[in-house]
Each structure stands twice: as structure tokens, then as C-alpha cells.
Amino acid sequence: MHSLASRRYHRSAPLVLVLALLALITVAYAFFASAPARADEGFTDAQVAGGQKLFAANCATCHGLNAEGSSFAPSLVGVGAAAVDFQVGTGRMPMQASGPQAQAKKPQFSQAEIDQLAAFVASLGTGPSVPTAEQVDGSLGDPAAGMELFRTNCAMCHGSVGGGGALTEGKFAPSLFNTTPTHIYEAMLTGPQSMPVFNNANISPESKRDIIAYLEEQRDEPPGGLTLGSLGPVSEGLWAWIVGVGLIIGITVWVGSRSS
């Protein structure tokens, strides 16, 4: 008989077994280990490779070739794909100059390229991942609950409806009127620059969606008329003087003038 079992005492059997075991572990690891990181984001090896090239060309000067950080930029190991999608997607990165306030500007990369960068950074260490479409769908959220959370956690920096607000030394919390739901979610999750981190234990994913629902509700037609920037009583006072007093004085001068 030449069954496999009869060969078990062959002298190369241990070697073959070890190699087989290694191969099995390698295949299993390759299948399972990459799956969580990649199955969530769906990142492919090609994306990671492309991302590495883009990173080396555009980010490594400050963040280091392996994103280990330097004296003027923090390490990106563990920041996750969400952080990259937010920072690069809003154009904040690459930054023109290092500093505490990263200005949003026209994004320098296409979404495909951003995905590659995200894939690369995510591969360096596990971190928050890009939210799914369902997680940022405002129509599934409760705007009233979102407003309560926004009022307690966000309004003091971003203003009562997300119009923006001042921080110290020239920094500011930007307006949220034109920010996409995905970027809003990612910003809460990763705490970019001055913004604190609102991890999922602090504000759960459902609550984050509620906040997005609230902000989207605010983009609906304002019931009172022109919003005057939603900046509060200062702009109201300014317009009272400019429009109200202006009109009244104009008419007053007409009342008091001689008719021709």
C-alpha cells in the first residue's frame, strides 16, 4: 500500500509537516488577518502600494516615510483610515505650513487617491475606519436627540447651528454648513487638530448619526427668513442699525425736506 499514512515515518516527513503547517498558518493568517482591516474598508494590496507611493511623495517630508512622525508632524500610526479620509478629503492635508490650525482647502487628490493613502496609513496600525453609508445617513437619525448632543458637545466651538466659532490665538472651529456627513462623522471620531476626540464610547455611532441628522435638518429652509449668517445677536444688532436705522433715517430725511 502507498497511502499517505504509510509515509509518516519517512525522514522528510517532519520537514514536510512543518512546511505544510507554516503554509497553512500563512494562508489562514493572510485570509483572516487582513480581512478585518480590509474587509471593513475593502482596501486592496494595490491600494496600499499606491498609497505608499503617494505618501512618500506628498506626506513623508513631515510625517516620515513610515509615518513615524517628526518634530513638526505627529506620528500617523494608529490614526486610522478615517483620519486620512477626513484630513486629505477636506484638503487640510497636505498642510501649507505646520501649525495648530489646518485650513480646509480644495482637496489635492481624487477620492481614489485618498482611498489609497487611507489604505496605506491603515495598514501601519489599526485605527478608526471610514464609516459606512448607513452610518452617516441622516435620514436614519433622530435630529432632536442630535440637537441635544450637539448643544452639549459641539455648539460651544462650532456655534448653535454649526456656523463656526473662535478659539484662542487665531484658531477657529470651522463652519459645518458645507461639510459632508462622512467628514462630520470622521472628525468626531478622530478629533482633528484642536478638536477633542469623541470616540464611540463617548458619542456612540447612532448618536453621531443623530448629530448628522440635526445638522442636515439645519440646512432646510430657515423658518424666520434670512439667517444673517446665524452668528447671533451681534449680527442682528448690526443689521438693525444698517437696514433698520438706515431705512428709517432715509425716510426721515425725506419727511423733513422741502418739497420742490
Partner 1 sequence: MSELKGETPFTNPGLPPHRPRRADEDPKAARRAEFQAVGLLVVSILGTVGAVLAYLFLPLSGSNGDIRRMTALMGAGIFLGMIGIGMGAIHWAKTLMRDHEMVEERHPIRSSDDTREEAVQMLKDGVEDSGVGVGRRGLLKGTMLTALAIAPLSVAIPMIGNLGGDWNVGQIKHTMWRKGMRLTRDPEGTPIKAADVTIGSVFHVIPEGLAETPDPLEEKAKAVVLLIRLDPRDLNVVPGREDWSFDGIVAYSKICTHVGCPVALYEQQTHHLLCPCHQSTFDVANGCKVIFGPAKRPLPQLPITVDSEGYIVAQRDFDEPVGPSFWERLK
Partner 2 sequence: MSKVTRAANSTASFVDDRTSIGGFVKFFSRKLFPDHWSFLLGEVALYSFIVLLITGVFMTGYFIPSAEQTVYDGSFATMQGVEMSQAFQSTLHLSFDVRGGLLIRQIHHWSALMFTAAIMMHMLRVFFTGAFRKPRDINWLVGFGLLTLSLAAGFSGYSLPDDVLSGNGLRILDGVVKSIPVLGTRISYWMFGGEFPGDALIPRLYTLHVLLVPAAILGLVGLHLFLVFLHKHTQYPGGGRTHKNVVGLPLFPVYVAKAGGFFFVVFGVLTLLGALMTINPIWNYGPYDPSPVSAGAQPDWYMLFLEGALRLTPGFLDFSIGGWDVPMNVLLPGVLLPGIIFTLQAIYPFVEAWATGDRGERHVLDRPRNVPVRTSIGAALIAFYAVLMLAGSNDILATTFHMSINTLTNTFRVLIFVLPIAAFWVTKRVCFGLQRKDRELALHGHETGRIVRTESGEYIEVHQPLSEQELWLAVGHDNLTPIEIEPKTNERGVKRPGYRWDRFRQALSRFYYEDRVEPVTPAELAAAADEHH
> From CA 192, how far away is CA 175, in angstroms rounded?
15
Indicate the residue among 70 and 252 with the shorter CB distance to partner 2: 252
Single out the residue of 141, 110, 163 nearest to residue 209, CA to CA.
141
Q: 140 Cβ partners below 8 Å, 6+ apart? A: 134, 209, 213
149, 210 Cβ separation under 8 angstroms: yes
> From CA 3, how far away is CA 195, in angstroms rounded?
67
- List the beta bridge partners of residue 172: 166
112, interface contact from partner 2, partner 1, none, CB < 5-8 Å by kind: none
Burial class (CB in 10 A: 0-12, 13-18, 19+), 185: buried
Residues 153-172, interacting with partner 2 (CB under 8 A): 155-161, 163-166, 168-170, 172
236, interface contact from partner 2, partner 1, none, CB < 5-8 Å by kind: partner 2
3, interface contact from partner 2, partner 1, none, CB < 5-8 Å by kind: none
Residues 67-106, interacting with partner 2 (CB under 8 A): none
C-alpha cell at 171: 484658531
Task: Find the shortest distance in angstroms from Cβ 173 to partner 1.
Answer: 8
- What is the x/- site pattern for partner 1, positions 60-99, by CB under 8 A? ----------------------------------------
In the set 43, 55, 198, 214, which binds partner 1 (CB under 8 A)?
198
150, 214 Cβ separation under 8 angstroms: yes
Q: Which stretch binds partner 2 (CB under 8 A): 47-55, 56-64, 109-117, 248-256?
A: 248-256
Residues 125-164, interacting with partner 1 (CB under 8 A): 148, 152-153, 156-157
How, if at all, do strands 165-166 and 172-173 pair? antiparallel
In the set 15, 17, 33, 247, which binds partner 2 (CB under 8 A)?
247
Burial class (CB in 10 A: 0-12, 13-18, 19+), 113: middle
In the set 100, 244, 246, 250, which binds partner 1 (CB under 8 A)?
100
238, interface contact from partner 1, partner 2, none, CB < 5-8 Å by kind: partner 2
Q: What crossing angle do the helices spanning 111-124 and 80-89 adopt, rounded to 10°?
A: 150
Indicate the residue among 65 and 234 with the shorter CB distance to partner 2: 234
244, interface contact from partner 2, partner 1, none, CB < 5-8 Å by kind: partner 2
CA 111-117-118 angle, to 5 degrees, is 85
Indicate the residue among 57 and 255 with the shorter CB distance to partner 2: 255
- The footprint of partner 1 (CB under 8 A) covers 100, 148, 152-153, 156-157, 165, 167-168, 171, 173, 191, 193-199, 201-202, 220-225, 251, 254-255, 257-260
